[in-house]
Structure formats: C-alpha cells, structure tokens
Structure 1
Amino acid sequence: MNMVIESDEREQLRVLVARDAIHRVVCGYIRGQDRLDPDLQRRSFHDDAYVDCGVYAGSPEGYVAFAQGALAKYEASHHLIGQIDVEVSGQRASGEVYFLAWHRSGRGAQAMDVFIAGRYIDEYEDRGNGWKIAARREIMDWGRKLPAADEFFRTNLQFHFGRRDGNDFSTLRDWPEQAAVNSKSGMQT
C-alpha cells in the first residue's frame, strides 16, 4: 500500500507534533515545580526567555531560583494543568495554559491550604533544539487561603503521599517485586 500525504496533511501533522512537544514542555515545567527540581523546570525555557509572574520579572535563571525558593517554604504543592490552547505558526507558537495550584503551609492545627487559579500566557519557539518557552506571563484569576481539613489522610499511614526530595514514587518507581514481575509479563494481580 503506497500512502501519499498531501501538503495540508503534512502541515496538520507538523502542528500536532509541535503541540505535543509544547505540552511536554509545560508538563516538565509543572513537574519541576512540584518536585522541587530546578533543572527540570529550567529546561522549559530558552536561555534568553523573559518570565513575569508579577512579583518577579526577568531571566529564567532568576525566576527558577525565585520559584524554587518560594515553593520550598511550603510543606507540599500540586499544580494541575487545565486546558491548553496553542496556535502554531512556523517555528513559533502562542499559548494560554490554565492552571490550578494548591500549596500546604504549616502543620497540624496551624496548617493552611493556599489555592491559586490562573493562566500562563506563553510564547514558544523551536530554534532547532526543540520547543521551549520564549516568554511567559503568569495571570492570577483567583485565590483562596483556607484552614486545612485533611487530617484523616495525613494521619493514616496507608496512603501514599508525594515527596519533594528526589524520593517521590514517580521518580523511583520502586515497585514491590511481585508488581514488577506482573508488569513485565502483562499479568493482572
């Protein structure tokens, strides 16, 4: 079977591949924030990118140092990406990325949950070394600070909680031996 791809189909495919690569950049950025991994977060930006989150505006290096320092003060954080709208034009693209972020400050009766919802307004470029953020402005749409109400989960040792010290399960993937054997053989437990 000989398949011929028309030029408009090639363009559609190129745009889909670009959008997927940009989505991976956004996911790497978010993972770098929540796992406190500055190298992963930094790789999302071109070296000469401009980043403006309101309380900081400047270079990627300065922003990542600022963000990592701010997030390290929290007990935990979780950033959820919502819809992503990306328009690709050649080797450039513009995007709007919705997010919802949760941050835990304090412990015990003093624990507070900080929620922030907003959007990243981005410009992306592929300069021959893959798609990266060339410019980003963080827009806050709403926020809340509330007393934490999940003590049941925090005191129940049967739950698995995320870690930010390089020992998160998503990084280690240290499955029990039986799970690893079943995974390799395709067996269900």
Structure 2
Amino acid sequence: MTSTDTDRQARLESLLDRQDILDALTRFSRGMDRFDRELFLSAFHTDATIAAGDYVGGPTDLYDWASAMHETGQVATHHNLLNHTVDLDGDTAHAETYYLFVGRNRDESNWIAGGRYIDRLEKRDGQWRIALRTNVIEWSGLVPTMPLPFADVPDIHQNGAPSRSGDDPSYRRPLTNTRAPHIPA
C-alpha cells in the first residue's frame, strides 16, 4: 500500500468515526424529541455522566427527568444540532456541538435557547457513545406566539400528525403519501 493509500484509508476511518459520533448525538436529540427512551439511551454509555441544568447523573435518570420536564412544559420540542467539531484521539473523542432548542410550551408560548453540548465520547465494542456531557446554556428567551401555519388545511395530517411517540410519521416504514395532489392557486 502506498503512502497515498494509507493516508486515504486513515482519512476514511476518521470520517466514519466522525459520522458515527454525529449519529450518536442525533440519536440523543431525536430520542428526546420523540420520547423514544431506547433511542435516547443508545446515545450514551450506561456509565456516562451528564451535567445539564440542575441535573447531574446518568443517562437513564436523565431521560426520566428530562422527558417528564418536557411532557409537563411543552407540547413539542426540537433539539437542533448545529456547528460540530470533533477531536479524535484513538477510541476517545472530544466534541463541541452548538445547539438550538425550541419548545412549544403548553401555554402556547414558544421557548428558544442556545448553547453547546461539550462531550467526551468513547468507542467501546466498536460503538461511539457519549461518556461525559456538559451542557453549556448560553442564552434563552420567549418568542411571540403566532398561529401554526397551514392549520386550516383539512387534510394536513392525513399522512400522520406530529407525535412524541412511535406514532410520529418519521417512524413509518415505508413512508408514503396519502394526500391528493394539490397546487395552491
């Protein structure tokens, strides 16, 4: 194998590791937003430590605490992942991921917050998962409430209504469209 091939192979392995790390972070976000406990927990090693707001502890208790908080406070949440950097060092990685949190509160106000997830991830048994997380919250505020768009379209949820469960359309396989073609005037 030439040095060019070796360099290329190392870059490919690094890319795959980075993608697996981003996939773990995405499982956390999607698992929280869909109240999918199994998916959420798959982002963490079982002995992980997480510091998020008042909470400091392991992933199972974090899910129970956070899902109860979001169930009580919001009808919908979006944990959006933004800028993402990873420093790889063998089977350990340090990642910084900017996030934008948006919640539709039960009182119909909208909460928005931004910050960064600072994670140490470890690759164990071929799986990248979070071993330590610090949630740095940098700002927060309320956004004026406006009507949800397209609320007056009679069949808007015919393909499935948003849900914080496995009933959400994102879990449907295969995904299909049951709405008739329509181009608004």
What is aligned with 2:140? 143
What is aligned with 1:98? 98
What is aligned with 1:53? 52
What is aligned with 1:76? 76
CA 1:150–1:27: 2 relative to 1, 3 Å: same
What is aligned with 2:108? 111
Gaps of 5+ in 1: 180-189
Deviation at 1:146, TM superposition (A): 3.1
How many aligned residue pairs are there?
Answer: 175
Which digits, 9 at most, give the CA deviation of each residue in 1:4-23, with x for residues without a partner? 86332222111111001011
- Whole-Å separation in 2 of the counterparts to 1:17 and 1:128: 15
**TM-score normalised by L of structure 1:** 0.83
Q: Assess if the C-alpha contact under 8 Å between 1:56 and 1:63 holds in 2.
A: yes
- Whole-Å separation in 2 of the counterparts to 1:94 and 1:125: 9
- Whole-Å separation in 1 of the counterparts to 2:17 and 2:42: 17
Q: Assess if the C-alpha contact under 8 Å between 1:36 and 1:71 holds in 2.
A: no
SS of match in other structure, 1:20: helix
Deviation at 1:154, TM superposition (A): 3.8
Deviation at 1:39, TM superposition (A): 1.2
CA 1:128–1:82: 2 relative to 1, 3 Å: same
Percentage of pairs with the same residue: 29
What is aligned with 2:183? none
SS of match in other structure, 2:132: strand
SS of match in other structure, 1:6: helix
- Whole-Å separation in 1 of the counterparts to 2:155 and 2:52: 38
Deviation at 1:3, TM superposition (A): 8.6
Deviation at 1:130, TM superposition (A): 0.6
The residue identity in structure 1 corresponding to 2:171 is T
- Whole-Å separation in 1 of the counterparts to 2:49 and 2:119: 10
